[in-house]
Structure 1
Amino acid sequence: MADIIRLLPDHVANQIAAGEVVQRPASVVKELLENAIDAQASDIQLIVKDGGKTLIQVVDNGIGMTETDARLSFERHATSKIQKAEDLFNLHTKGFRGEALASIAAISHVEMMTRTQDDEVGTHIKIEGSKIVGQEVAVVPKGTSMLVKNLFFNIPARRNFLKSDQVEFRHITDEFHRVALAHPQISFSFYNNGSDVFNLPNNDFKKRIVQVFGRKTNEKLVPINEETNVVKISGYIQKPEFAKKSRGEQFFFANNRFIKSPYLHHAVLGAFEGLIKSGTHPGYFIRLDVDPSTIDINIHPTKTEVKFDDEHTLYAYLKSTIKHSLGQFNVVPSLDFEKDQNLETPYDFKNRSAAVPGITVDSDFNPFKQSGSSRASGFTKTSARGWENIYQGLDRKVPSSGSGIMEMESEEINSTIFDSDIETQDTVTTTFQLRKKYIVSTIKSGMLIINQSRAHQRVLYEGFLKNITIQEAVSQQLLFPLTLNFTKSELAILKEIKESLCAVGFVFGEMTNETVEVKGVPVVVTESEVQMVMEQLISDFQMEVSEDSFSQVDMLAKTLSKTLSVKTGEVLDELSQISLVNKLFACKESTLSPFNKRTYTTITENDIDRKFI
């Protein structure tokens, strides 16, 4: 049998490695920014076009590279960060694998311009698909400039899997946030399609958070600080009342490196237990400084998943630190049962007994008593004694001028939340609510059981789709416009779906870099629900990114129907139950909710008879 195992060509091996390192344009941004930080840069610029598909450029003022280093940096496993295996357990830099530049150069057109401080001229290298097509001496400033053009140009299948420009830009923004927050001592600038997105001067950690997420964030932050022999914990958590539906503002940094840790996230949730509503998530910006030998960051190519030696101790320290900060800054109300009440009593009153107040009443006092002025006018006031007798008999019903009995008018209470389509009550089938979750109604063949929440979701969903399609939604104007605060990334999402929101019935005013003015809302949305609806929309669009207008409209209708529908546990009166049943079966698809779950089931008479066999 002939030999079948052979070595892969370098360009194929590089493309395979690129599949692990470079998943989308945001992956390239992460690697280039981290290289600039490792180069001891104090000022870094990020420039992208078309969501990073056309251009990604990172310019830094770091130490730069010589001509030999510049060319060697594009070889596989070429790195200046480590020299032996033991160095993997004493890492103080971002990149160390030596695969990033080689992987990026294998699937794009790359240009590097770099110069060290000691050299008078620098180096300009051009690479296309791992092949060096040009290298020349160039006059460039100190530092390094990396240009990555036409990402995945030689792998069309991978390029077709990329999302829209807006979605890819959103992922790039997320990576920029992570790097910028981890290094507040470095100045960052971010430009997208020629416009300025972020301009962050060097600052401390708290001010960097405010720079990234807006001025309103400052009032939400509570500092945390704890130093032990295992870990140093510092940073900020957000107050419980600012918990959101989305998980956007949640950051862990281990040794100035952004990490993802569901285990530590659970510790944060445990500290907030009982302080936030179910379904909401607290925001936090937590920095962990540990001994590099106790953390393994080499378990994943993206280096965001790490492994700590003693996670259980770290879990306990983090949870107790957050609880301590919440109590220390009076975020959590506390009762002191051991306070000495004697300390609250003034010294002069220590041995005194309580005095009973005396009350004197003049029974002969009469405000209508005859005075000089009344005597002059000839009018005499009688005594006020027995005044209470004028109210006697009012508890009896008094006959009116007609033959009926006068009754006090009472305010009509209408708890119907659905418009009734029923003309006469005689034609209505009897319904009742079961466990505040199901609506039970009789049919000819047996019994109908409807899930009230899913049924209402279907009704609202088709209604929103119709309004967006024909653009005839009814809007109710707010007497006082609402001003809502969002981050720049959240505002970018709202601007994407603004047209669809207007078709549903929202009316927007001025939009700034941090605020949105809402002047009108759909008739099914109350003023108190606007903030919740907006946060839920942003959360869903962050989790389920949309590529075309149809999927965007569909997601918008689903989110609104899920947020505004009646929930399990809400009591519906009989008219609301009947109206919901009628509207459900008037829908085009009444059997399934917008999320493909059954809205109702039937139990036939035969099914009931079998139970009694």
Structure 2
Amino acid sequence: MSDSIQLLPDNIANQIAAGEVIQRPSSAVKELLENAVDAGATEIQLIVADAGKSLIQVIDNGSGMSETDARMSFERHATSKINNIDDLFRIRTMGFRGEALASIAAVAQVELKSRRAEEETGTYIEIENSQVKKQEPVAFPVGTSIAMKNVFFNVPARRNFLKSNAVEMRHIVDEFTRVAMAFPEISFSLTANGQEIYHLESGSLKQRIVHLLGSNYTAKLVNVQEMTDYLNVYGFAGKPDIAKKTRGDQYFFVNNRFIRSAYLNHAVMSAYQQMIPADSFPMYVLFIDLDPAQIDINVHPTKQEIKFEDEKIIYAFVQAAVKHALAQFSIMPTLNFDLDPGIQQLDAVARPFTEEKKEHAAASALYNTFTQKNQAHLIESKSGLKHWKDFFPEAGKAATGQDAVAGKLEYEQEGAAIGRTAGTGHSLQLLENADLLQIHAAYIAASTNQGFILIHQQAAHERILYERYVTAAKGKPIATQRSLFPLTIPLTTPDAVLLQDLLPDLHVLGYEIELFGKDTFVIQGTPADVDQGNEKVAIEQMLEQFKHFNSDVKFSKREKLIRSLAWQHAVKPGRYLAQKEMKALAEELFACDQPNITASGNPTYIAFKNDYLERMFGR
């Protein structure tokens, strides 16, 4: 029998290796941009076509390569940055593994042009499927241009797994943003399908953040800077009032390399504790500089996860740096000693506490039991105070012992049962002529044939809108109300790319939105049942909510959009409703297929039965 084990051909081995390094067009963008940075470039251009599927080209004015280096750069394990094992622990460059260009050449058609300053002519190399097709001298300015064409042309199965152009373009913009953010001293540009999306001049980190993430951050950034012998932490954190429902604008860089770290994110979140809502996320762009020997950056194919030698120290430094920055700029909460004018009129303030009143109070048994050490348990027996149950003997009896526990359990069980079956023929019905009561501008109390229910107005409206949008998505489009004065809405580039991808689905759901120049859209119409006048904010918040849902991969794009719109358009707590509005809300809720919960599983109402109410009052 012949031997079974054999070495893979180089082109197949390269394709296998490419599977880890080049997962999609944006992966190649990251590697090429990092190589341009390492080459010492001061100007870097990224050009893409067809969301990177047809073309990804990076042009830089860096050091360039010799003819030999240009040819060697496409070999596996070829690198100019590592000579011995110790170099692995002193890495300060971006690309270092020697697999990027070999992986790119294995899955695309590549054209390289490069020239060094000391040479009169440059080198042109054409590679396809890891094979060099052409190599010749070429006239070219100092620097390098690498064009990657027809990604995965030789791996059709991989190409079929690529997403829509809008999705792939979002990933490209993300990678571009991360590299450009880390090096504000370098000029960057991004051109897609002949249109320049970004043109970033060299400048300060704050200028780069505003250019990339939006001008709304201009006056909302707090400077973070803590320098120590062990490490430096610097960058910017957003003020609490601009915290969002998504973590999109959160960036960590270690030695100028973008990383993901739930551990360090927790350090920042803890610095914002009690300053922002629990379900909100602060914006931050933070850089950590430390000795490369203290980290291991080669633990993940994309190098976005690293290991710290002592992560607890890093955590403490990051938390302290952000806390100090927020406190320094008077962002931290402080006690407000300005008294409300109404307080000044109270007896406790207006009438002085005389010596006579003081002696009378000090002589009371209640005062003595409070002031005697370790006597708190004797307050009730010595002070002459009656037990609260003595004032309400029947209620006290009903609220103690097994009756109270049984009542609570029955309430929980019966209330849940009503919620589960109300939409499927259960006997629970709203009383037709009974008025409804709004409580705290957030809840609606409605009488039923069995007691009453307490409706959460936002949750109920979410369920109503969710089912309405689901029906529309299945083939019954929602009517559009044309705007008399169309609104123009400018967006950041990532949000513009996202909105453009959502336009077909939004049209089915009643929105008529058109692209109007670069990163700008015109809202021509909205769903007929949506209040007019707040369209711009609604679209912006819908995008944020969509990104929030986007972290859950089990939902389709349309499902995420429907949930986002239902949340956005639902009536929020704090809005007072007229009787007519409350009745319409309650009736529409119980006309839903599943009225008891929202799409995310939260209850829309709680039911209270008559017999339970009577037991609560000892009847």
Change (3 A) 1:517 1:225: farther
Change (3 A) 1:336 1:591: closer
Report the residue type matching 2:248 in the other structure: G
Report the residue type matching 1:48 in the other structure: V
Secondary structure of the residue aligned to 1:219 is coil
Change (3 A) 1:426 1:280: closer
User: Which moved further from structure 2: 427-436 or 530-539?
Assistant: 427-436
Give distance in 1, aligned partners of 2:573 and 2:5. 61
Give distance in 2, aligned partners of 1:134 and 1:507. 51
> TM-score, normalising length from structure 2?
0.72
Secondary structure of the residue aligned to 2:219 is helix
| Kept in 2: contact 1:243–1:281 (CA 8 A) | yes
Change (3 A) 1:136 1:520: closer
- Alpha-carbon displacement from aligned partner over 1:297-347 (angstroms, at most 9, x marks no partner): 11101111111112111211211211111121122353599xxxxxxxxxx
Change (3 A) 1:589 1:298: same
Secondary structure of the residue aligned to 1:7 is coil
Give distance in 2, aligned partners of 1:580 and 1:199. 49
Give distance in 1, aligned partners of 2:164 and 2:195. 19
Tell me, yes or no, if structure 1 residue 103 matches structure 2 residue 103.
yes
The aligned residue for residue 41 of structure 1 is 41
The aligned residue for residue 272 of structure 1 is 272
| Kept in 1: contact 2:15–2:107 (CA 8 A) | yes
- Which is greater in Rg? 1
| Kept in 2: contact 1:297–1:306 (CA 8 A) | yes
> TM-score, normalising length from structure 1?
0.73
Unmatched 5+ stretches in structure 1: 338-423, 605-613
The Cα of 1:573 is off from its aligned counterpart by: 9.8
Tell me, yes or no, if structure 1 residue 195 matches structure 2 residue 195.
yes
Secondary structure of the residue aligned to 1:236 is strand
| Kept in 2: contact 1:430–1:442 (CA 8 A) | no
The Cα of 1:70 is off from its aligned counterpart by: 1.2
The aligned residue for residue 232 of structure 1 is 232
The aligned residue for residue 172 of structure 1 is 172
The Cα of 1:148 is off from its aligned counterpart by: 0.6
Tell me, yes or no, if structure 1 residue 583 matches structure 2 residue 596.
no
Give distance in 2, aligned partners of 1:594 and 1:38. 48
Unmatched 5+ stretches in structure 2: 338-428, 610-619
Give distance in 1, aligned partners of 2:314 and 2:568. 37
The aligned residue for residue 126 of structure 1 is 126
The Cα of 1:11 is off from its aligned counterpart by: 1.8
User: Where do 1:329-368 residues align within 5 Å?
Assistant: 329-335=329-335
Give distance in 2, aligned partners of 1:201 and 1:498. 31
The Cα of 1:546 is off from its aligned counterpart by: 13
Tell me, yes or no, if structure 1 residue 163 matches structure 2 residue 163.
yes
Secondary structure of the residue aligned to 1:185 is coil
Change (3 A) 1:503 1:164: closer
| Kept in 2: contact 1:246–1:535 (CA 8 A) | no
User: Where do 1:181-260 residues align within 5 Å?
Assistant: 181-260=181-260
The Cα of 1:194 is off from its aligned counterpart by: 0.4
| Kept in 2: contact 1:259–1:305 (CA 8 A) | yes
Give distance in 2, aligned partners of 1:439 and 1:151. 60
Change (3 A) 1:543 1:59: farther
Secondary structure of the residue aligned to 1:207 is helix
Give distance in 2, aligned partners of 1:217 and 1:568. 28
* Match 1:488 to one of 488, 493, 507: 493
The Cα of 1:153 is off from its aligned counterpart by: 1.1
Change (3 A) 1:244 1:447: closer
| Kept in 1: contact 2:108–2:148 (CA 8 A) | yes
Report the residue type matching 1:491 in the other structure: A
Report the residue type matching 1:473 in the other structure: A
Tell me, yes or no, if structure 1 residue 154 matches structure 2 residue 154.
yes
The aligned residue for residue 10 of structure 2 is 10
The aligned residue for residue 544 of structure 1 is 550
Report the residue type matching 2:543 in the other structure: L
| Kept in 2: contact 1:89–1:296 (CA 8 A) | yes
The aligned residue for residue 537 of structure 2 is 531
Bigger proportion of residues as helix: 2
| Kept in 2: contact 1:126–1:135 (CA 8 A) | yes
User: Which moved further from structure 2: 513-522 or 289-298?
Assistant: 513-522
The Cα of 1:24 is off from its aligned counterpart by: 0.7
| Kept in 1: contact 2:46–2:189 (CA 8 A) | yes
Change (3 A) 1:543 1:453: closer
Secondary structure of the residue aligned to 2:12 is helix
Change (3 A) 1:197 1:477: closer
Tell me, yes or no, if structure 1 residue 557 matches structure 2 residue 584.
no
Tell me, yes or no, if structure 1 residue 91 matches structure 2 residue 91.
yes
Give distance in 1, aligned partners of 2:191 and 2:205. 22
| Kept in 1: contact 2:114–2:140 (CA 8 A) | yes
User: Which moved further from structure 2: 457-466 or 63-72?
Assistant: 457-466
Give distance in 1, aligned partners of 2:497 and 2:226. 36
Give distance in 1, aligned partners of 2:507 and 2:487. 16
Give distance in 2, aligned partners of 1:17 and 1:188. 29
The Cα of 1:451 is off from its aligned counterpart by: 8.4
Secondary structure of the residue aligned to 1:317 is helix
Give distance in 1, aligned partners of 2:323 and 2:496. 32
The Cα of 1:129 is off from its aligned counterpart by: 1.1
Give distance in 2, aligned partners of 1:335 and 1:426. 49
The aligned residue for residue 374 of structure 1 is none
The Cα of 1:292 is off from its aligned counterpart by: 1.0
Secondary structure of the residue aligned to 2:101 is helix
